[in-house]
Amino acid sequence: MIRKCLFPVGGYGTRFLPATKALPKEMLPIVNKPLVQYGVEESIESGLYEIGFVTGRGKRAIADHFDISYELEHQISGSDKEKYLTSIRHVMHEGVFSFTRQKEMKGLGHAILAGETLIGTEPFGVVLADDLCIPEADGDNVMAQMVKVFKQFRCSIVAVMEVPEDEIHKYGVIEGEEMKDGLYRVKSMVEKPKKEDAPSNLAVIGRYILTPDIFDILRDTPPGKNDEIQLTDALMTQAQDGVVMAYRFKGTRFDCGSVEGFVEATNFCFEELYKKGNLT
């Protein structure tokens, strides 16, 4: 079964400067919780409790966040402030965390390949923490939905959503054959196409389940769009053998890689979760 999930967190977070000058962008809070913790909680809830981070320089706060702070525990234990530690204590109890460093930033595919040492030879999840996904009320989270699809097809799975034409250039885009409602066999994929070249309006968002042959494929994948090694190109190689499925997930996704999306996510989480006492 799938137990591992990779979090590429090496990126610079340029769009959030100056906030991200000394702080990893993944540690920016949506209300009271760092962005990356939402993704880690989603992963652990889906049964993917071995969390591997592909980090870079200036990202130590992420490792500290998922480690015990003895001073804090000492200060807060037994006080009425202890409730504020509930969610992070739970995550630390349920999860196992490993780290490796990506030496250069050469694209998402390069980051995934750097994570091979944490994954080995089993299928694994990938969460791009920038994409915050909130499930429907009483519904499974997005990674849990994907695990169900994986159990059925045993091949790589990408999460997709419909996006407006003028936003399609920001995403990997699939061309697929719909097998049943919301489930497509991917025929081809293209990274960040111009709108006139996009094969559909179905954009890949930051949730993947990958089979481990992706590492050998990535090793042989030349730099593509923006001169970076693209995961989309490696997935395209798998898709040629018919072993990539796209799944239109249920839930709401926020693009927290952009300031607008980040603020929208903050407002949503404040109104829908925090005020109702559902954000610990």
Interface residues toward ligand G1P, by CB under 6 A:
108, 128, 131, 171-172, 191, 203-206, 231-232, 257
Q: Which residue, 151 or 195, is less far from ligand G1P as judged by CB?
A: 195
CB of 207 to ligand G1P, least distance (A): 9
And the tokens for 173? 């885009």
| Buried/exposed code over 171-183 (b: 16+ C-beta within 10 A; e: otherwise) | bbbbbbeeeeeeb
CB of 229 to ligand G1P, least distance (A): 10
CB of 134 to ligand G1P, least distance (A): 15
Q: Which residue, 55 or 232, is less far from ligand G1P as judged by CB?
A: 232
Q: Which residue, 88 or 163, is less far from ligand G1P as judged by CB?
A: 163
Which amino acid is present at 237?
A: T
Q: Which residue, 88 or 174, is less far from ligand G1P as judged by CB?
A: 174
Q: Could you tell me the CA-to-CA distances from 19 to 15, 94, 101 in Å, in that order?
A: 9, 30, 22
CB of 200 to ligand G1P, least distance (A): 13
And the tokens for 215? 């590492």
For every residue of 195-262, DSSP letters joined together read GGG-S-SEEEEEEEEE-TTHHHHHHTPPP-GGGS--HHHHHHHHHHTT-EEEEE-SSEEEETTSHHHH
Q: Which residue, 98 or 258, is less far from ligand G1P as judged by CB?
A: 258
CB of 103 to ligand G1P, least distance (A): 18
Q: Which residue is nearest to ligand G1P (CB)?
A: 172
